[in-house]
Structure 1
Amino acid sequence: MSSRPTPPLPDVAHDAAALARPLDWVGMERIALPVRIADAEGRPVQVAASVDAAVDLRDAGARGIHMSRLYLQLQQAFAAEAVTPPGLRRVLQGFVESQQGLSSSARLCVRYEHLLLRPALESGHAGWKRYPVEISAELVEGHFRLWLAFAVEYSSTCPASAALSRQLNAERFAQDFAVARPLSAGVVSEWLASERGLAATPHAQRSRAAVRVELRPAFDELPLLPLVDAVEAALGTPVQTAVKREDEQAFAELNAANLMFCEDAARRVAAALAADLRVAAWDVTVAHFESLHPHDAVARVSGRNG
């Protein structure tokens, strides 16, 4: 066995850059990582996430950042606590400090799928629904900003198609009762419940509202569940999980009560977000995956609160 000391490992990242220039962001994307998030009762649960992490390289002459330090800090931070606004700020501050003067800003993005147990409309059953979530945070020169993005699926029934269907239903009624005969509530009710009572149906389709909000930094928790609830309530027709006949009938009733074009849906979601004190700014895109057309109907709206 040789007693000769082991030479230090080479580190060419400390060499001077061949072309001196500061860089906006340097880091890693799509890091596989388990993270803890709060469930509907506020209890931490572990989920699989994809994480992006980066810092700026303000030293124009430095060849690179200490990238492994970002990775190790991510593992340590998310293993210890659930994702919260204060926790994200601490992680970003740790990123900057780990670079020992090379950086002054940091950013982070966490993507995962959030499962929520949603009750059926009438039957008392419940089922799990999946919501894609993206949490983005940025610390630039000590200024912290935080964004939360998610998507909600719902049903949209076309108001124009509904009006055209009602016209055909009325025409068939007039046709079937053209010959004078005694009318009563029972006779009309029986006719409406028969196949003759439905001459046409409006077209409806699964639709999607993609929401991205900038959150005010005054709150310690991520308000995912309240925001999802507010958006689904504004739309009125969120897609269902466990469904019995009574639930399907109730869903059909909700669709009739919430006829909407994509423009209507965008305005509904915007109104709900504009009323939330936790939201500083918002951007909404709704898409109706048309059953009438081979293309989608899309509307987008954005704004700031206060």
Structure 2
Amino acid sequence: MKDVQNELAKVKLPIKKVGINKLVWPLSVKIQGDLQPTVAKFDMAVDLDKEIRGTHMSRFIETLKDIKILEQKSLEKILSDLKTRLKSKKSYLKVQFTGFINKTAPKSKKQALVDIECAYIANLGKNLKVNTFVKVPVNTLCPCSKEISKYGAHNQRAIVSIEVSSDKIYSIEKLVEIADLGASTPIYSLLKRVDEQYVTEQAYENPMFVEDAVREIGLALEQLNDLDWYRVSVESIESIHNHNAFACIEKNSK
């Protein structure tokens, strides 16, 4: 059959990325030492020479056929296979999935899972570069509200987003642990009354602006020597304002 994709392009311009996105695929990820089944969403792409009209979309899906576990080895294999199958110089992959962290309540010691939005963003040219992303719910209590109020202080859920760049997949558990450093208290799924009392009082004793939170997290990331780059944002879903508050820190930004 005629291979239309391999025809010469009429417009001789190279394409930086061409591929498929929003491909839903079942697999497992390892978190806290255990394999967790999940459903992932893939974006996959390669570069395309200016002379070639089109890429071969079916070959992207073929690279996933034998992938059961999403880990460093399989990530490298997908990217390498994309380059080989599609005769490209660079390959790109973004995979988004939900992971679960087992958290222990501070007093009752009851355990339950907290869901975390995760992603790996990777590209392979001459070298492999991998970004690991997590979105972690936390709790913050307003220092200003505490200072000016006779009774209590307003608190709210906040969302910590961390993206780090390295030559390998970074530990999701470690990034969640670091995200909790910017919280007045972490978020738990299962709390008994004794835990609720403790968490409420802990938040009151540990008030955090979004500025405080993002700096605490940035400081922790600065102390890691195996990161090339990071970006942190904290968004407070305000409880008494008709807006959200946010702050962002990025390594090497001006």
- Please give the range of the TM-score, normalised by the shorter of the 2 chains: over 0.9
Q: Which whole-Å CA distance do the structure 2 matches of 1:269 and 1:53 have between them?
A: 31
Question: Which residue pairs with 2:160 in the alignment?
Answer: 209
Find out whether 1:139 has 2:124 as its counterpart. Answer: yes
Q: Which whole-Å CA distance do the structure 2 matches of 1:160 and 1:229 have between them?
A: 26
What's the secondary structure of 1:279's corresponding residue? coil
On the 8 A contact 2:146/2:153 being kept in 1, the answer is yes
Find out whether 1:23 has 2:15 as its counterpart. Answer: yes
Shift of 1:287: 0.8
Unaligned runs of 5+ in 1: 1-8, 169-199
Find out whether 1:93 has 2:80 as its counterpart. Answer: yes
Q: Which whole-Å CA distance do the structure 1 matches of 2:132 and 2:234 have between them?
A: 17
Shift of 1:66: 2.1
Question: Which residue pairs with 1:163 in the alignment?
Answer: 147
Shift of 1:90: 2.6
Change (3 A) 1:203 1:236: closer
Question: Which residue pairs with 2:27 in the alignment?
Answer: 35
Alpha-carbon displacement from aligned partner over 1:49-90 (angstroms, at most 9, x marks no partner):
0001000002x12111122112101222x23xx322343223
Identity of aligned residues (%): 26
Shift of 1:10: 3.4
Alpha-carbon displacement from aligned partner over 1:189-227 (angstroms, at most 9, x marks no partner):
xxxxxxxxxxx2211111111111112x2x5x6411122
Q: Which whole-Å CA distance do the structure 2 matches of 1:289 and 1:74 have between them?
A: 38
On the 8 A contact 2:184/2:207 being kept in 1, the answer is no
Find out whether 1:128 has 2:120 as its counterpart. Answer: no
On the 8 A contact 2:97/2:118 being kept in 1, the answer is yes
Q: Which whole-Å CA distance do the structure 2 matches of 1:272 and 1:86 have between them?
A: 28
On the 8 A contact 2:153/2:204 being kept in 1, the answer is no
**Cα RMSD (Å):** 1.6
Question: Which residue pairs with 2:245 in the alignment?
Answer: 297
Alpha-carbon displacement from aligned partner over 1:34-57 (angstroms, at most 9, x marks no partner):
12211312x333211000100000
What's the TM-score, normalizing by structure 2?
0.93
Find out whether 1:49 has 2:40 as its counterpart. Answer: yes
Larger Cα-atom Rg = 1
- Report which of the two has the higher share of helix: 1
Q: Which whole-Å CA distance do the structure 2 matches of 1:164 and 1:63 have between them?
A: 66
Find out whether 1:257 has 2:205 as its counterpart. Answer: yes
Unaligned runs of 5+ in 2: none
Aligned length: 252
On the 8 A contact 1:234/1:272 being kept in 2, the answer is no
What amino acid is the match of 2:233? T
- Among 88, 96, 100, the alignment partner of 1:111 is 96
What's the TM-score, normalizing by structure 1?
0.78
- Among 123, 127, 133, the alignment partner of 1:149 is 133
On the 8 A contact 1:209/1:287 being kept in 2, the answer is yes
- Report which of the two has the higher share of strand: 2
Q: Which whole-Å CA distance do the structure 2 matches of 1:24 and 1:266 have between them?
A: 33
